[in-house]
Amino acid sequence: MPFEELAMLMGSPTALEATKALLDRFERRLTLCQSANSSSAENIDHLLKRLATPKRKAPPSRDGRTRVAAKRPARTSETSRLSRYSLRVVLCAYMILAHPSAVLSGDGEQEQLLMESAANFVREFELLVKTILEGPGRTSRQPSLDGAESSSCQKSYDVASQSKFKTQLVNFDKAWCTYLYGFVVWKVKDARSLEGDLVRAACKLELSMMQTCKLTADGQSHNLTHDMKAIQKQVSDDQKLLREKVQHLSGDAGIERMDSALSDARSKFFEAKENGSPLAAPVANVCTPLRIDSSGKLPPTEVNMNSKTDAEGSRSVVRSLFGASGASSSTSPVNLPTENEQMVNEMLHEDGGAIAGNSNDARTIEKDFQDKVRETMEKAFWDVVTDSMRGDKPDYSQLINLVKEVRDSLHDLAPKEWKEEIYENIDLEILSQVLESGSQDTQYLGQILQYSLDMVRKLSAAAKDDEMKASHDKLLSELAASSEDTDNGVSSFVIAVIKGLRFTLEEIKQLQVEVSKAYVQLMQPTIKGSAGVEYLQKAFGDRYGPPANASASLPVTLQWISASKSIVDGEWSEHLGSLSVLPAANHAQPLVTVLRAGHGAPTAAVASAGSSGLPECKGEKIDKLVRVGLLQLISGMEGLQLQSAPESFHLNFLRLRAVQGQFQEVIVMATSMLVLRQVLMSENSKITPPELETVISELFGALVKLLDNSPEAGTEEIVEAMMSASASAGSLSDAKIQARRQIITRVLLKSLQADDVVFKKVSRAVHCAFRGVLLGGSGAKGQKLADAALRRVGAGKLADRVVKAAEVLIRVATVSEKVHGPWYKALA
């Protein structure tokens, strides 16, 4: 049964109530049996307590003292008793057996023991249920006699039935105790792992804030901008949430470990800062990567059935199919790339004048999340500033700091001959005196705002002068015409000041972005040449050491190179074989064997011979290794994580994650098209190829629109798209439409299982299509290879998507070979 369907059935109220009632009945029966035999069941209270919520500190009262629950009646042993058979843990046994890769986070000894004990427990559980329903041979051995003989035999039968039940109940309980022990051992290990992730997240936030806000050892900071104050508030709120999660997960002991880690992080940060270490950096003591999901969230704290069972995982066909886990957001302090490295890396991957990777799914998700956080932080900050200026005794300190920020920003952007003028026109001392007089005179502030906006216009591009002057004049007019009183008891002075300063700071921010872009464009010709490669090469060497030490300093890259070496010859040989028959690719080829003969998909248009594209692989050893290795990384069933990615690709991790998502989407789309083709042909053998292709073309367009706009689309949305496309094949009765929907849903879910023959053929075809472009280049040759591979499963329409995704990998391979070539040669 597919993962989502099984989870949905298990979570239904009917299933939960029935199972809970049955388990409670088993527990009562066990107690009665033990009492009758003057024996006792194995004591597992110490294991059951591990499943309960950890101990929490009592909340403090208003006077600061800890509350004492003296007035609350003490819980009796009956009310505090834990159920012997935990409903959640019992159901988890089925999840472990059905989908071990989705539930278990590893395949170590503990996971193997858990799987074995779960299998034994489920077997004994189902035998016990069968014994209750059927009895010992009831259907074949129950006597059919009359009178006293019948009564005697019936009593004998009942005794045998009860004996059989008691024996099976004891066996069931023994299997449960063994399974529970394995589950608790696994749960505690997984919980501690998640606790470590949460603590590392808190440390990362703390250290990032300390560096950004330039905190001193006493926790103070001078000249905080409004952005810095907003960052401090956001970090405080985020850490509070993390503390709550740790409290829920590990109780007081977890909070103590978190406090200790934060204290140690601060100490190491200031120690590194004093010693002039190159890494007094945002994650100075984050020892292992922090796992987050594709939406930028930490894994849920309910780890008992693993984070992959959350709503996102069960809703997304692509993610649940491939077990895609989230991207890691940090790495160890020694391995953290700097912002300059990231910028240079983006320039080297640039194509067509735009920085590559900025528009991919992973970065878009991350940017959307950051924009929402920034918007919330800014609103909270301006609310604080507004509140500080209300009332009879307003506090103007934040207002003065904001004006100071305007002045300093303009000073930094202006040429040397204008700097003194800026200080003269924005005099903070005079502003302070005006505000302290209590007159709330807007005249001087208005002069400062008007001068600041004029300066921004002078520093901006001449082409924007008219547009900016109009918007600035409009703002000043609105401020001058603002009413004396407003709602919420805020004076017109406050409203005018806040609106004017906020507008001015936004204008300055846009100017800073423009200046940065201009600087980047100025540097691009130099960086995109040998200087960029040399810079990244030096940074990589400083971080990981010389190529001679690569086997020790690059363990994941070494493992990746070794794995690539074991398959590169086979992949290259298959690629050469595909090239040898490439001319035949222009003729009709047989489709995958699951399709009926005579209903093949027409050939998709391929690039003309003049299409150059990105270069092909010429067979050079390192080039083959890197390209084939990248193909293996993105075609894996499990979602790529930072800690499992080669160190040489940490800068391009989001790129690889995005391509892996596109690889998986192609499989889902190709399978959906193939399934609909099968269903329609099985319903109507007279459907003509043109009619069939019209339907498939409609489905292709619908799937492109669906998955491009909603990558997390689930089976319901995909089935709906298939049904909508199939409507053009002819009108049907409501009953037949419903039957078609059921067939499509069943066949699609079955075809997306990893062990299904259709899935294997489709995924292999997609693998070959990507390989064709990676090794054959993205020109005419590679496009024809991709088209030929995809047409075997009726998915030639997807060739363009494959080519575009594979081009990203070719660029990554090309840049990496230039930057990391010496290390690859040492490892190969």
Whether residue 637 sits in one domain with residue 508: no
412 within domain boundaries: yes
CA 604 from chain center: how many Å? 34
CB atoms within 10 A of CB 11: 12
Whether residue 434 sits in one domain with residue 558: no
pTM over 0.95: no
- Lookup: tokens for 588: 């009709």
Whether residue 562 sits in one domain with residue 454: no
Which residue range forms the structural domain that includes residue 386? Answer: 362-528
**pLDDT given at position 124:** 93
**pLDDT given at position 278:** 43
620 within domain boundaries: yes
Q: What is the pLDDT of residues 136-168, one digit of tens each?
A: 554 444 444 445 545 555 555 566 667 788 888
pLDDT class of 743 with cuts at 50, 70, 90: very high
3-12 mean pLDDT: 81
| 195-229 core/surface letters (b: 16 or more CB in 10 A; e: else) | bbbbbbbbbbbbbbbbbebebeeeeebeebbbbbb
**pLDDT given at position 289:** 29
Beta carbons of 532 and 344 less than 8 angstroms apart: yes
Q: Which of 107-116, 472-481, 625-634, 660-669 has the least mean pLDDT?
A: 472-481
Whether residue 807 sits in one domain with residue 688: yes
Q: What is the total count of domains within the chain?
A: 3
38 within domain boundaries: yes
Q: What is the pLDDT of residues 751-791, one digit of tens each?
A: 988 888 999 999 999 999 999 999 999 999 999 999 999 99
How many CA atoms lie less than 13 Å away from 466 in the CB half-sphere? 1
Whether residue 228 sits in one domain with residue 270: yes
Please state, in angstroms and rounded to a whole number, the distance separating the CA atoms of residues 675 and 669. Answer: 10
Whether residue 474 sits in one domain with residue 450: yes
Please state, in angstroms and rounded to a whole number, the distance separating the CA atoms of residues 150 and 819. Answer: 89
289 within domain boundaries: no
Whether residue 554 sits in one domain with residue 466: no
Find the helix or strand (DSSP H, E) in which 159 lies: helix 147-212
Q: Which of 229-233, 340-344, 491-495, 525-529 has the least mean pLDDT?
A: 491-495
Q: What is the pLDDT of residues 568-626, one digit of tens each?
A: 999 999 999 998 887 554 444 444 434 333 344 444 444 433 456 899 999 999 999 99
Whether residue 107 sits in one domain with residue 30: yes
Whether residue 554 sits in one domain with residue 491: no
**pLDDT given at position 328:** 39
**pLDDT given at position 141:** 42
Whether residue 418 sits in one domain with residue 386: yes
Whether residue 510 sits in one domain with residue 549: no
Q: Which of 232, 255, 276 is the last residue of a domain?
A: 276
**pLDDT given at position 771:** 95
337 within domain boundaries: no
Q: Which of 257, 276, 295 is the last residue of a domain?
A: 276
637-654 mean pLDDT: 87
Whether residue 219 sits in one domain with residue 182: yes
Beta carbons of 3 and 314 less than 8 angstroms apart: yes
